[in-house]
């Protein structure tokens, strides 16, 4: 009898992303940067999208040093026009979008009783509305092509309050991302 574990193709082949194209928001640093490298190393072409073009360009240089096909795109994910421009840049470069990683976000510690409305609005605009706008624009392309994967970065604080960090606005936004992701998965 043949041992299927020993005769099966490498498990790494199942994770290859050759021929795929990825858009990674917040790709100029942190988790987004790690996503960009991981997707690129797996074979995807990567659009590094960030509010800071110099940060995005720096990551693209890192990727190109690994022979990964990559472009830098500056975009404000809280603005529909910026999000659409990022998606359009991917389509112009590669003709398709198959992976969206909606990761752009911020964190801030601030006691709820001292929080100005502007800080609340900024947090929800970037961490929740930005995810929605990106997923919406990505899905339009993916639904038309019949294929795509969308990954939204949330946080454990979307399901549990972590102390001593006073960050009600961050927690609320990340809880919203979790439920938004479930809702969109049900629709698409």
In this predicted structure, the answer to whether residue 1 has a pLDDT above a threshold of 80 is no
Give me the phi and psi of 178, to 5 degrees please: -60, -50
Q: Is 170 a catalytic residue?
A: yes
- Token pair listed for 139: 């899905």
| Bridge partner residues of 101 (DSSP) | 24, 151
pLDDT for the residue 159? 86
Average pLDDT over all residues of the chain: 96
In this predicted structure, the answer to whether residue 102 has a pLDDT above a threshold of 80 is yes
Q: How far is CA 94 from CA 21, 43, 91, 131, in A?
A: 7, 14, 5, 23
Catalytic residue of the set 35, 94, 132, 170:
170
CB 85 within 8 A of CB 59: no
- Token pair listed for 119: 């800080």
Q: Which residues contact 94 (CB under 8 A, 6 or more apart)?
A: 21, 45, 69
Cβ-based neighbour number of residue 7 at 10 Å: 7
Q: Is 73 helix (H, G, I), strand (E, B) or coil?
A: strand
Cis peptide upstream of residue 164 (ω within 30 degrees of 0): yes
> Does CATH place domain 18-187 in 2.60.34.10?
no
Separation of alpha carbons 183 and 38, rounded Å: 27
> Could you report the per-residue pLDDT of 45-88, keeping only the tens digit for each?
999 999 999 999 999 999 999 999 999 999 999 999 999 999 99
Q: How far is CA 140 from the centre of its chain?
A: 16
Domain spans, the chain: 18-187
């Amino acid at each position: 009898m043949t041992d299927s574990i020993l005769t099966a193709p490498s498990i790494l082949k199942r994770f290859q992303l050759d021929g795929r194209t990825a858009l990674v928001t917040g790709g100029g640093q942190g988790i987004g940067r790690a996503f960009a490298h991981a997707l690129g190393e797996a074979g995807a072409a990567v659009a590094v999208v960030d509010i800071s073009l110099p940060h995005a360009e720096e990551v693209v240089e890192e990727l190109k040093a690994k022979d990964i096909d990559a472009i830098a795109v500056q975009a404000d994910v809280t603005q529909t026009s910026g999000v659409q421009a990022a998606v359009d840049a991917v389509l112009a470069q590669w003709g398709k979008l198959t992976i969206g990683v909606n990761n752009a976000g911020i964190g801030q510690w601030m006691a709820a009783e001292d929080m100005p409305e502007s800080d609340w609005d900024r947090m929800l605009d970037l961490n929740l509305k930005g995810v929605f706008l990106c997923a919406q624009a990505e899905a339009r392309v993916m639904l038309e092509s019949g294929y795509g994967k969308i990954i939204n970065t949330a946080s454990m604080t979307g399901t549990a309050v972590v102390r001593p960090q006073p960050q009600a606005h961050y927690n609320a936004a990340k809880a919203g991302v979790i439920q938004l992701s479930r809702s969109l998965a049900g629709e698409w």
